[in-house]
Amino acid sequence: MTTPHLKSLIAGQWRDASGPSYTTDYAHDGSVVATLNASTAADVDEAVQAAEKARMKPEWANLKPHERASMLHRIAAGIRERGEELAQLQRLDNGKPIRETRALVASAAGTFQFFAAACETHEDAITPSRGDYVTMSLHEPLGVVGAITPWNSPIASEAQKLAPALAAGCAVVFKPAEITPRMAIELADIAQKAGVPDGIISVLPGKGSIVGEALVRHPLIRRIAFTGGTNVGMGIARIGAEKLMPTSLELGGKSPTIVCADADLDHAVAGVLYGIFSSSGESCIAGSRAFIHASVYDEFKSRLLAGVKALRVGDPISENTQMGPLVSQSHRASVEKYVQLGIDEGAKVLFGGVRPQGATFDKGSYYTPTVMEGLPNSARMCQEEIFGPVLAMLPWSDEADLIAQCNDNVYGLASGIWTKDYKTVWRLGRALQTGTVWVNTYKVFSTSTPFGGVKMSGTGREKGRLGILEYTTQKSYYWGTNEAPMPWATM
């Protein structure tokens, strides 16, 4: 099979970016998936300048909300028409199991459908008058926005930025993760065929230090929507402050999952397994710290280990695979360093902590699901984001101490509670410093519900009906209705 050469969409034209050629690899076996050219700062400037012109042309700026909604519906339909193809392409892009990539593609289509409805039904306000005038508050598009997306769930993350931005009337310049550019490219192609005018969307793969830096600093970029690492997000926030530019930053996490004494252990075990080991743990909301009540700790551990041993790690193309490879050899090395750090800190490895053996795994970047215990919450392995299939188990008995430990972390993205008592849910949920609290479930999402974090997990929210407003600026109008001239002028 011939390795495809991917073109970038720059200022309305499909062409090679002006930087050096590079390849993307399949995490399952290291084979080359595609070749493409990296973008440069010059490509960024060309794309942004073109976007600024395109957004002000009548064919985009004058679209009525229902017309913009129809375009978003066509994008959703285009994603669904190519659903299986896109799922297979994303499997090759980052090694996720095929069942998971199908779900991500379906989620992306649903995101465009949701924001089509939100766009068409959004209402501005006539505010209460306090004089001889009518007052109105209207939301208008910010302008050209930059979207920087991660490698772990490309098409879903890109849809969560592109759909509300288009709904608001903005133009978007995408910087996808260097190693997983395919989904942004395909999504732009679908949007273009759905009628989005040339120049409104550009896709610029390449290094964050080059493309991302140029995008964030460009004077015509009015907003950055970023999903990725905390250190990079902090850098974007600093530049945003210098430009007085709004940013939304969905960053790292070290999410606690609480199993109470009265929890349904069948449900809790299944939820904890899914929360940390689905997506091979390469998820910002992975439930990587499991706090288990001391009275059920041993029974929970026994059931959990039985579940871990039964997990099917293997080829992402298989319908039965639950865990595929990590995204790259270098990322696997990072996960391995954290596991060794945990051992050095005194952890006991209950399961995993090694590379799986066998022909299926030899060429890929696979790692076994890993469960560890014996560490205090203050240990580095319990404090820092690993972004891999590594679970730390910690017993608890005192609720006040539990809450303190859960919150004793720089991150605050998500959390989970397993209990049958609604009063416990309310008490713990209100005390946890996280943007999302899952109760007797984990890692489920709705496009209609805002998502984001607190503390070092970021700022701003994506999704939800008001997600469009993140891409708008608010303008107030005063419409005089008095019959006589202003009295000051006639004194």
Q: Spot the catalytic one: 284, 336, 382, 470.
A: 284
Three-state DSSP state, 118: helix
**Assigned token pair, 99:** 């069942």
Radius of gyration of the chain (CA): 24
Of 250, 336, 373, 385, which one is the catalytic site residue? 250
Q: Is residue 186 annotated as a catalytic residue, yes or no?
A: no
Q: Which residues contact 114 (CB under 8 A, 6 or more apart)?
A: 163, 447, 448
Report whether 93 contacts 148 (CB < 8 A).
Answer: no
What stretch of H or E contains 8?
strand 8-10
**Phi, psi for 232 (deg, rounded to 5):** -65, -40
The two three-digit tokens of residue 71, written as one number: 């375009």
Q: Enumerate the β-bridge partners of residue 414.
A: 436
Active site residue 284: yes
Residue in 162, 172, 160 with CA at minimum distance from that of residue 9: 172
Structure tokens belonging to residue 184: 């942004």
Complete DSSP assignment for 322-377: SB---S-HHHHHHHHHHHHHHHHTT-EEEE--SPPPSTTTTTS-----EEEES--T
Q: In whole angstroms, what is the distance from residue 449 CA to residue 176 CA?
A: 24
Query: Which tokens go with 326?
Result: 């990590």
Hey, what are 163's tokens?
């759909």
Residues classed as catalytic: 250, 284
